């Protein structure tokens, strides 16, 4: 999933207090799971804005709404559109995709990002999320016993650990596992360590962000011009 | 012998090679480079020039190499993957060769979070092993990574670094093999304080026959004080400083610790010299270049064969 | 602010709520400012429950649960302590003094403790309402580590 973290309260307050009527728009998918921008977090921000505006003597109205997904046209239903129309500005707690999608759908509305989108990751344990994928466009994890050096090595090294691997941890952050320590351990267990003596040649980054913004087309799924839903 | 490299020539002659290092200044003063150079003149066979080491911005490695070259040195140009993509790397390699640089040391580079620009974006388009491969492809195949033909191949003696003490230990010799396979002809190691562990690593290196395929130059760094030893043990990842060394330094009065550190370094060189497969030493006297001559002399490695 | 503060006490059914009841039968008086909300376990308390109490006009919120190790639902109070610590941070961000929120451990048999604790807490809120600084409360729970998501970790 996409993992995000709520922006600092003061930033959000500064944005909200510029308007008379603000809608907090939550997203029910990834940011709900990582507890950054679901219904619960929308409610907390709502309470916080109300308390702060009282403390600071500002006067603006806050309303809330959460939809299943902000990266999908389908979930911006009539009720949502009505609520957005009724507000002067929207703070969306969806990931960067949702923020943009919402802006595209309501071009006349001021839309603010309520969270910082951080990475594609997993819930490693309750309350702890870690990065696992960098979306490079050409998956190579199977060469490395299922551990991605692109996403999980601080230097994206593809031919083994750097000199900074220490006791299984990365020199950049003592809390972070050295991806290469994990790869070596797993390949040793699988008895495939010698496979690492093959040189991994320079990676083709054209499939990654470096190749420009990417798009995927499934012709078989696309609707004919006439049957497309009206925006 | 492929290149005009002094160290390649000496290694081929079977000489025990001595190299040292010179960190470029944090400014544009060429005189600062020359000043360091003067301390090493006639003392060593080659001088490494670091490339923004620890990610702190300094004068460009290649420019500093040229200044040293003009002084008669055969500099060893260090190049890291942190700051350049494969376009810049290939271009710089051609440029360095055109300017008469004969030695290239391929490195990943320290992560930028340790330096003075922790907000920088890193590149790591390719890693150090892919950099070795790139340099070799340019030189031996006469081809760019993109496949096109190079008009005038860059004749560089290609080296790499290795840290025998970093984790995971079991991958270290295998990874060295990979560097050799990619095209590394000489290896300079991270500074060695634990000779026993280094010997174990060398055993593995010999088992894989790697000591015959590349020249291993053992890295040493003289310790200035017990405090420095403790600091390195604690704060430098992948640095193995045995307690016995710290104790030995601590047992000496503070004002004599530097002298003791030099003595330890000299003893270390003598021990390392006896290990089969060690073809030279690389003395990294960080901001202590004036001591290199003394160390080389005391280790019985002076005078150096003429270039 | 008014000088007779409104204080919401979220009390666990298994301990603090019984203690409050016991205080009554023991004729131990506690301030009338305290409005008790019975909850099945302090583990039911979420950050927003607390924040909302403030939004709706509470001057102080106390969450009272079992001693560590004696939660009827094993871990509920441990989680509540973390969530209350998180809620304090959220309050602080808004400018509300986090001393207006506190977690207390009160066992079912501790009627007198409930009475003194709620009296102390009421006094603290009164002082805050009067513009004074609250003094540190020795009965308050220890603050857990301040990791952002600590509140949701087990």
What digits encode the pLDDT tens for the residues A3-56?
A: 999 999 999 999 999 999 999 999 999 999 999 999 999 999 999 999 999 999
> Who among A163, A178, A202 is closest to B163 (CB)?
A163
pLDDT category, C136, cuts 50, 70, 90? very low
Q: Is A191 exposed, middle or buried (0-12, 13-18, 19+ CB in 10 A)?
A: exposed
What is the Cα–Cα distance from C65 to C42, expressed in whole angstroms? 6
Query: Do A107 and A49 belong together in one domain?
Result: yes
pLDDT of B306 higher than 90: no
- What ipTM, to 2 d.p.? 0.91
What's the pLDDT score for residue B238?
77
User: What's the distance, Cα to Cα, between the start and end of chain A in Å?
Assistant: 27
Question: Who's near B171: CB < 8 A, 6+ residues apart?
Answer: A160, A161, A180, A184, A193, A196
For chains A and B, CB pairs below 8 A equal 109
CB contact under 8 A, C51 and A44: yes
The answer, yes or no, to whether the previous bond of C28 is cis (omega within 30 of 0) is: no
Q: Would you say residue C147 has pLDDT above 50?
A: no
Helices then strands, each counted (H, E), chain B: 12, 8
Average pLDDT over residues A75-92: 97
- Kindly state whether residues A81 and A176 are assigned to the same domain: no
Instruction: For A162-210, write each residue's pLDDT tens digit.
Output: 988 888 999 999 999 999 999 999 999 999 999 999 999 999 999 999 9
How much is the pLDDT for A228? Answer: 72
* Strand ranges for B25-74 from DSSP E: 46-49
Instruction: Clarify whether residues A79 and A173 are in a common domain.
Output: no
pLDDT band at residue B166 under the 50/70/90 scheme:
confident
Residue A215 lies in a domain: no
Q: Using a CB-CB distance cutoff of 8 angstroms, which residues of chain A are in contact with residue B125?
A: 202, 205
Phi/psi of residue A92, nearest 5 degrees: -100, 135
Whether residue A66 sits in one domain with residue A31: yes
Domain contains A90:
yes
Chains B and C touch (3+ CB pairs under 8 A): no
Q: Which of C143, C100, C140 has the alpha carbon at shortest distance from C124?
A: C100
Residue B43's CB: how many other CB atoms inside 10 A?
A: 21
Residue-range domain boundaries for chain B: 6-298
- The pLDDT tens digits for C69-125 are 999 999 999 999 999 999 999 999 999 999 999 999 999 999 999 999 999 999 999
Pairing relationship of beta strands C7-12 and B278-283 according to DSSP bridges: unpaired
Q: Does A128 map to a domain?
A: no
CB contact under 8 A, B178 and A167: no
Beta pairing class for A2-6 and A115-125: antiparallel
| Class level of CATH domain B6-298 | alpha beta
Segment B91-111 shows an average pLDDT of: 97
Q: Work out the average pLDDT over B41-53.
A: 96
**Share of residues in chain B with pLDDT > 70 (%):** 99
With tokens 């330890």, the residue in question is B264
- Do A145 and A87 lie in one domain? The reply is no
Alpha-carbon gap, residue C106 to B158, rounded angstroms: 72
Going by the DSSP 8-state scheme, the letter that residue B254 receives in this structure is G
Query: Which residues make Cβ contacts (< 8 Å) with residue C92, sequence separation at least 6?
Result: C98
Contacts of residue C127, Cβ cutoff 8 Å, sequence gap at least 6: C133, C134, C135
Residue B66 Cα distances to B33, B181, B306, angstroms: 10, 29, 20
CA distance B191 to B228: 14
CA distance C22 to chain A (A): 34
Tell me whether residue A207 is in a domain.
no
Q: Which of A163, A165, A168 to mutate to test the interface with B (most CBs of B within 10 A)?
A: A163
Q: Are residues A26 and A110 in the same domain?
A: yes
| Nearest beta carbon to residue A172 from set B111, B178, B190 | B111
Assess whether A187 and A86 both reside in one domain: no
- Say whether A156 and B124 touch across the interface (CB within 8 A): yes
Residue A222 lies in a domain: no
C151 touches chain A (CB under 8 A): yes
The answer, yes or no, to whether residue C134 has pLDDT greater than 70, is: no
Q: What is the pLDDT of residue A116?
A: 98
pLDDT band at residue C138 using 50, 70 and 90 as cut-offs:
very low
Question: Same domain for A46 and A13?
Answer: yes
Weakest mean pLDDT among A201-210, B164-173, B296-305: B164-173
**Is A180 within a domain?**
yes
Say how many domains are in chain A.
Answer: 2
Question: B168 preceded by cis ω (within 30°)?
Answer: yes
- Residue A84 located in a structural domain: yes
User: Does position B71 have pLDDT exceeding 60, yes or no?
Assistant: yes
Nearest to A48 among C94, C147, C148 (CB): C94
Same domain, residue pair A86 and A174? no
CA dihedral of residues A38, A44, A50, A56 (deg, nearest 10): -120
pLDDT per position as a tens digit, C29-68: 899 999 999 999 999 999 999 999 999 999 999 999 999 9
Q: Are residues A64 and A155 in the same domain?
A: no
Query: How much of chain C, in percent, has pLDDT values that exceed 90?
Result: 81
> In this predicted structure, what is the pLDDT of residue B5?
96
For residue A25, which of A140, A110, A148, A142 has the smallest C-alpha distance?
Answer: A110
- Per-residue pLDDT, averaged over B136-141, amounts to 98
**B216-B221-B227-B229 Cα dihedral, nearest 10 degrees:** 10
From B178's Cα to the closest Cα of chain A, the distance in A is: 6
A35 touches chain C (CB under 8 A): yes
pLDDT of residue B307: 62
Q: If DSSP codes are grouped into helix, strand and coil, which group holds residue B181?
A: helix
Distance CA A93, CA A42 (A): 7
Q: Which of A172, A193, A201 sits opposite B130 (nearest CB)?
A: A201
> Tens of pLDDT along B11-44?
999 999 999 999 999 999 999 999 999 999 999 9
Closest CA in chain B for residue A193? B171
- N-to-C CA span, chain B: 15
Mean pLDDT of chain B: 95
Task: Output the six-digit token pair for C148.
Answer: 């952002």
| Residue A216: inside a domain | no
Q: Which domain holds residue A73?
A: 2-119
Q: In this complex, is the C-beta atom of A175 within 8 Å of any C-beta atom belonging to chain C?
A: no
Q: Looking at the complex, does the CB of residue A11 fall below 8 Å from at least one CB of chain C?
A: no
Over residues B216-221, the mean pLDDT reads 97
Q: Is the pLDDT of residue C141 over 90?
A: no
Domains of chain C from N-terminus onward: 7-146 (3.40.50)
Dig out the tokens for B51 from the structure. 């490339």
Residue numbers in A near C147 (CB within 8 A): 127
Which of A11, A26, A41, A44 to probe the C interface (max C CBs under 10 A)? A44
CA distance B220 to B86: 31
Q: How many CB atoms lie within 10 A of CB A21?
A: 13
The pLDDT > 70 percentage for chain C reads 83
B239: confidence class by pLDDT, cuts 50, 70, 90 = confident
* C-interface mutation test, from A8, A47, A52, A124, most C Cβ less than 10 A away: A47
What is the arrangement of strands in the sheet containing A115-125, beginning at the earlier edge strand? Answer: A2-6, A115-125, A128-133
Query: Which of A44, A56, A125 is facing C90, going by the closest CB pair?
Result: A44
User: For residue A162, what is the nearest residue in chain B, using CA coordinates?
Assistant: B108
């Amino acid at each position: 999933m996409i993992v995000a973290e709520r922006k600092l309260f003061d930033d959000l307050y500064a944005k909200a207090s510029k308007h008379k009527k603000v809608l907090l728009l939550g997203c029910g998918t990834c940011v709900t799971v990582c507890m950054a921008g679901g219904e619960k977090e929308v409610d907390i921000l709502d309470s916080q804005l109300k308390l702060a505006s009282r403390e600071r003597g500002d006067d603006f109205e806050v309303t809330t709404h959460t939809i299943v997904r902000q990266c999908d046209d389908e979930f911006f239903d009539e009720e949502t559109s009505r609520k957005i129309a009724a507000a002067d500005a929207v703070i969306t707690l969806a990931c960067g995709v949702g923020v943009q999608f919402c802006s595209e759908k309501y071009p006349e509305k001021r839309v603010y990002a309520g969270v910082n989108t951080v990475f594609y990751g997993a819930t490693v344990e309750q309350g702890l999320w870690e990065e696992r994928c960098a979306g490079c466009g050409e998956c190579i994890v199977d060469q490395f016993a299922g551990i991605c050096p692109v996403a999980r090595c601080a230097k994206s090294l593809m031919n083994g650990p750097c000199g900074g691997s220490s006791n299984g941890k990365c020199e950049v952050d003592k809390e972070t596992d050295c991806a290469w320590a994990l790869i070596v351990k797993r390949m040793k267990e699988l008895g495939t360590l010698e496979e690492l003596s093959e040189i991994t040649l320079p990676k083709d980054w054209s499939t990654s962000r470096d190749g420009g913004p990417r798009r995927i087309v499934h012709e078989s799924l696309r609707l004919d011009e006439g049957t497309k839903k009206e925006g | 012998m492929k290149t005009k490299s002094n160290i390649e020539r000496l290694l081929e002659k079977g000489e025990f090679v001595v190299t040292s290092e010179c960190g470029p200044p944090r400014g544009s003063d060429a005189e600062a480079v020359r000043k360091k150079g003067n301390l090493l003149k006639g003392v060593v066979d080659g001088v490494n020039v670091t490339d923004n080491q620890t990610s702190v911005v300094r004068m460009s490695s290649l420019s500093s190499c040229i200044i040293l070259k003009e002084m008669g040195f055969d500099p060893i140009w260090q190049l890291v993957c942190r700051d350049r993509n494969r376009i810049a790397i290939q271009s710089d390699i051609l440029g360095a060769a055109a300017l008469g640089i004969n030695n290239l040391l391929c490195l990943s580079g320290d992560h930028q979070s340790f330096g003075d620009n922790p907000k920088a974006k890193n590149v790591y388009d390719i890693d150090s092993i892919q950099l070795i491969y790139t340099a070799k492809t340019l030189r031996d195949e006469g081809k760019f990574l993109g496949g096109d033909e190079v008009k005038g191949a860059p004749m560089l003696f290609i080296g790499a670094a290795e840290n025998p003490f970093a984790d995971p230990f079991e991958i270290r010799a295998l990874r060295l093999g990979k560097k050799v396979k990619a095209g590394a002809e000489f290896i300079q190691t991270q500074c060695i304080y634990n000779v026993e562990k280094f010997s174990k690593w060398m055993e593995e290196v010999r088992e894989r026959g790697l000591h015959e395929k590349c020249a291993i130059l053992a890295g040493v760094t003289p310790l200035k004080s017990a405090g420095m030893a403790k600091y390195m043990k604690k704060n430098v990842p992948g640095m193995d400083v045995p307690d016995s060394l710290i104790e030995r330094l601590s047992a000496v009065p503070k004002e004599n610790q530097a002298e003791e550190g030099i003595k330890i370094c000299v003893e270390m060189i003598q021990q390392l010299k006896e290990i089969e497969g060690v073809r030279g030493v690389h003395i990294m006297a960080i901001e202590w270049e004036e001591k290199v001559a003394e160390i080389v002399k005391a280790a019985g490695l002076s005078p150096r064969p003429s270039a | 602010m008014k000088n007779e503060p409104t204080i919401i006490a979220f009390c666990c059914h298994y301990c603090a709520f019984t203690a409050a009841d016991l205080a009554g039968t023991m004729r131990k008086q506690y301030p009338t400012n305290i409005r008790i909300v019975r909850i099945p376990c302090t583990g039911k308390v979420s950050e927003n429950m607390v924040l909302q109490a403030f939004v709706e006009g509470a001057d102080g919120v106390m969450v009272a649960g079992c001693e560590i190790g004696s939660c009827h639902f094993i871990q509920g109070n441990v989680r509540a302590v973390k969530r209350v610590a998180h809620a304090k941070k959220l309050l602080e961000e808004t400018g509300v003094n986090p001393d207006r929120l506190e977690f207390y451990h009160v066992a079912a048999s501790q009627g007198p403790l409930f009475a003194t604790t709620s009296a102390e807490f009421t006094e603290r809120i009164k002082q805050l309402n009067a513009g004074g600084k609250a003094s540190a409360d020795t009965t308050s729970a220890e603050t857990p580590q301040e990791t952002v998501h600590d509140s949701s970790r087990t």
